[in-house]
Structure 1
Amino acid sequence: MPDLVTAGRALAAESARYAGLGWMRGTSGNLSVTLGRDPLRLAVTASGLDKGELTAHDVVEVDAAGEALPGQRLRPSAEAGLHARIAAVAGAGAVVHLHMLAPVIAAERWPDGIELSDLEMLKGFGRAAHDDRVLIPVVPNSQDMKVLGDAFEVGYDPATPALVVARHGVYVWGDDLLTARHRAECLEWLLRFKTTIPGGTP
């Protein structure tokens, strides 16, 4: 497991990458890395900062409830509690919360879940390209992370490392930041395809 500064350096680099793609506009979005599991500890990007300009020190260590450990100068993202819930339930080593447009549009069209199948890019999302039905869960938006966390758990499928929050954004996770990045990039392509083609199929 990385220490806080090492995690902060990696989180700053990933944040700059996503900001450059337009997926963390302004101060929106947040990323986390799991620092330890017993007890659960995460490094989470700090609240209210431009995600394209973070440094290795612009992170906050939080507990299993997403609360900052004592003695830190910055506040964690308001969504740190959901990051911690995903890390606990899914065993994620990293979680990325991004504000891509395609997942939000897809959630408007398919509020009960976004079905994908028979697309080669599904391999990059950790699934089979053919004969594999993938359902990306969609949950209503809430400012209460316990409400969102409970909704996440209800629809959680270990084979589907993503969650769309309606009219908000997407959470994608993996064993590490690189895996989470690759999955997020592939999911964005998949959902952009689905929302672009006539009829929205497959």
Structure 2
Amino acid sequence: MSDAVTPLPKAALVEVGSGLAAESARFAARGWMPGTAGNLSVTLGREPLRLAVTASGLDKGELTPADIVIVDERGDSVLGEGGSEQRPSAEAGLHARIARVTGAGAVIHVHALAAVTAAHVWPDGVVLSDLEMLKGIGHAAHGETVTIPVIENGQDMTVLGDAFEARYVRPCEGANDVPALIVASHGIYAWGRDLRQARWHLELTEALLQIALVTR
């Protein structure tokens, strides 16, 4: 277990939990978080890294503000810092890795159909160009090619995190940085500075993937 840090005020955690519950309900209504599938997180602090993650095993359309667990940089539950004692998602470790590597303030993971289908069609990554909505994920609508990375699925979040980090292009390193990752035969992760931007990145990427599949 990590050393405890000063907990966030209860009102702040309720606000975070309310945001996570609202976004979960939104994606559940779209069919992207069926049953207990999928998870979301918000970064609470960076030194040490702390995330509020939706609790495991709960219907994502029925979460309450209390259904969040605070985890550390490995995705392990941290008690005594204001979160619930429920079990965090098994994928919390990948959320933490994405937050640490990208500096994201929020990460969303859903089981959207186009992302899973696209990974079957393009297992080495989904190449996109000359699409207007690329502007919504930080790229030009024309004259630029970007790739949504695809990694193999697995149950070890350290292995998945290593695969993600090996494929991630930091903004300072080139033009192909994208705020999304597809895990083959599983789903998609998207991130942003906050939940709203992460949602936009997710919705835009899923729409881009739908276009790529229809027009291939």
Q: So what's the TM-score if we normalise by structure 1?
A: 0.95
Aligned match of 1:83:
95
The secondary structure found in structure 1 opposite 2:52 is strand
1:123 Cα deviation from its structure 2 partner:
1.1
CA drift of 1:70 comes to 2.1
Counterparts of 2:96 and 2:13 in 1: how far apart (Å)?
16
Q: Trace 1:40-55 onto structure 2 (pairs within 5 A).
A: 40-55=49-64
2:107 to 95, 111, 117: 95
Does the 8 Å contact 1:11/1:56 carry over to 2? yes
State the 1:124 CA deviation: 1.4
| Greater Cα shift, 7-16 or 118-127 | 118-127
Matched, 1:195 2:200: no
Instruction: Write the deviation string for residues 100-139 of structure 1: whole angstroms up to 9, x where unpaired.
Output: 0001111101101100000001111221111111101100
1:1-202 correspondence runs (5 A): 3-71=12-80, 72-158=84-170, 159-197=177-215, 200=216
- Give the deviation of 1:4 after TM superposition: 2.4
Worse-superposed segment, 47-56 or 156-165: 156-165
Query: Distance in 2 between the 1:15 and 1:97 partners?
Result: 10
Q: Secondary structure at the match of 1:153?
A: helix
Displacement of 1:43: 0.2
Aligned partner of 2:178: which letter?
A: T
In 1: Cα distance, 2:211 partner to 2:122 partner: 14
Q: Deviations over 1:31-85 (max 9, x none)?
A: 0000001110000000000000000000100001100012542000000000000
**TM superposition shift of 1:6:** 1.6
1:113–1:135 Cα contact (<8 Å) kept: yes
Deviation at 1:147, TM superposition (A): 0.5
Kindly, what percent of the aligned residue pairs are identical?
Answer: 64
Residue 31 of structure 1 aligns with an amino acid whose one-letter code is L
Q: Report the number of matched residues.
A: 198
The residue identity in structure 2 corresponding to 1:137 is P
Q: Answer with 70-79 or 177-186: which moved more.
A: 70-79
The amino acid that maps onto 2:181 is L
Alpha-carbon distance between aligned partners in 1 of 2:127 and 2:28, rounded to the nearest angstrom? 27
The alpha carbon displacement at 1:196 in A equals 1.4
Instruction: Provide the aligned C-alpha RMSD in A.
Output: 1.2
Distance 1:174 1:73 in 2: 27
Structure 1 stretches lacking a partner, 5+ long: none
Contact (CA 8 Å) 1:46, 1:74: kept in 2 or not? Answer: yes
Structure 2 spans left out of the alignment, 5+ residues: 1-7, 171-176
C-alpha contact 2:79 2:85 (8 A) present in aligned 1: no
Tell me, yes or no, if the aligned pair for 1:4 and 1:35 is still in contact at 8 Å: no
Distance 1:101 1:126 in 2: 23
Q: Which amino acid aligns with 2:73?
A: A
The answer to whether the 8 Å contact 2:129/2:144 transfers is yes
